[in-house]
């Protein structure tokens, strides 16, 4: 069984590899299809962007495709950067630039007002199938100093209080048990296990 993950983000790809291997799937990502044009994320919501990515690639490759649209929602920033998390800092899309921008925007915001959520919406599309959409979230607080060097993106600034650690201080296995992506995948398993089992 093979599933194409419609992502070029190596951090996401690594997590999906671990999560789908456990289900007996082999995964490919867009890094295996370097000639495919980029899908422009023109949607206004995580769900619109996830469907756009999954359906466009499923139509092109004519196979089962899962897309992930995810991001960080910060209460003190009225939910920003949200769907713009990958390009928060503008043209420099590096994790370092985005993290610096986040710290800058939260300058002077006290500890008890730094609540945030990581959000993940997954869309699974296949030729002739209705697209499935699920979401997951995890609560945290934005740190003032980065901690840990595991994971990717905003992980060093996202403190998971129930574990007493920043996301980037968790091992890959630990993150895959509790992350927004893991919560969304659990939801996918529950609602759509038959759908997933039928496809190859
Ligand atoms: P693809 O569209 O190719 O999948 P992308 O990085 O552009 O890659 P998104 O548009 O979904 O993907 O943006 C998600 C951004 O949100 C990502 O670049 C990170 O900055 C952040 N993010 C998502 N999940 C995260 C996680 O588990 N840990 C840390 N940051 C995360």
Q: Which pLDDT score is estimated for 41? A: 95
Judge if the beta carbon of residue 83 lies within 6 A of ligand 1.
no
Beta-carbon contacts of residue 108 (< 8 Å; ≥ 6 apart): none
Which residue in the list 35, 38, 68, 69 is annotated as catalytic?
69
Q: What is the pLDDT of residues 84-125, one digit of tens each?
A: 999 999 999 999 999 999 999 999 999 999 999 999 999 999
For residues 120 and 200, the model is more confident at: 120
Q: Which pLDDT score is estimated for 39? A: 95
38 catalytic residue (yes or no): no
**C-alpha R_g of the chain:** 17
Q: Which pLDDT score is estimated for 197? A: 62
Judge if the beta carbon of residue 68 lies within 6 A of ligand 1.
yes
Mutate to test the pocket of ligand 1, among 153, 181, 185 (most ligand atoms within 8 A of CB): 153
Domain limits of the chain? 2-198
Q: At what angle do helices 10-21 and 180-198 cross, to 10 degrees?
A: 50
12 annotated as ligand-binding? yes
Say how far apart CA 135 and CA 116 lie, in whole Å: 16
pLDDT surpasses 80 at 196: no
Which residues is 159 bridged to in the sheet? 141, 166
Q: For domain 2-198, which architecture applies?
A: Alpha-Beta Complex (3.90)
Please state the rounded mean pLDDT for residues 156-177. Answer: 97
Contact 124, 54 (CB under 8 A): yes
Say how far apart CA 57 and CA 65 lie, in whole Å: 7
pLDDT surpasses 60 at 200: no
For residues 21 and 13, the model is more confident at: 13
pLDDT surpasses 60 at 199: no
Q: Which pLDDT score is estimated for 7? A: 96
Q: What is the pLDDT of residues 128-140, one digit of tens each?
A: 889 999 999 999 9
Q: Which pLDDT score is estimated for 189? A: 83
Q: What is the pLDDT of residues 14-73, one digit of tens each?
A: 999 988 888 888 999 999 999 999 999 999 999 999 999 999 999 999 999 999 999 999
Q: Which pLDDT score is estimated for 21? A: 85
Task: Report which ligand 1 atom has the smallest distance to the Cα of 5.
Answer: 4
Beta-carbon contacts of residue 148 (< 8 Å; ≥ 6 apart): 155, 156, 165, 166, 167, 168, 169, 170
| Ligand 1: centre distance to CA 181 (Å) | 11
Q: Whose CA is nearest to atom 4 of ligand 1?
A: 7
Judge if the beta carbon of residue 86 lies within 6 A of ligand 1.
yes
Say how far apart CA 182 and CA 31 lie, in whole Å: 22
């Amino acid at each position: 069984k093979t599933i194409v993950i419609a992502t070029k983000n190596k951090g996401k790809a690594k997590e999906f590899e671990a999560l789908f291997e456990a289900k007996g799937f082999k995964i490919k990502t867009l890094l295996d299809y370097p000639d495919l044009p980029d899908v422009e994320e023109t949607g206004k919501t995580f769900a619109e962007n996830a469907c756009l990515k999954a359906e466009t690639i499923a139509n092109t490759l004519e196979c089962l495709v899962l897309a992930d649209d995810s991001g960080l929602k910060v209460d003190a920033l009225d939910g920003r950067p949200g769907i713009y998390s990958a390009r928060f800092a503008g043209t420099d899309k590096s994790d370092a630039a985005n993290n610096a921008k986040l710290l800058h925007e939260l300058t002077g915001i006290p500890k008890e007002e730094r609540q945030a959520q990581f959000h993940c919406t997954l869309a699974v599309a296949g030729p002739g199938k209705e697209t499935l959409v699920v979401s997951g979230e995890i609560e945290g607080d934005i740190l003032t100093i980065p901690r840990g060097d595991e994971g990717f993106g905003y992980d060093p600034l996202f403190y998971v209080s129930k574990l007493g650690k920043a996301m980037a201080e968790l091992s890959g296995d630990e993150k895959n048990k509790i992350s927004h992506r893991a919560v969304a995948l659990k939801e996918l398993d529950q609602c759509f296990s038959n759908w997933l089992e039928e496809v190859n």
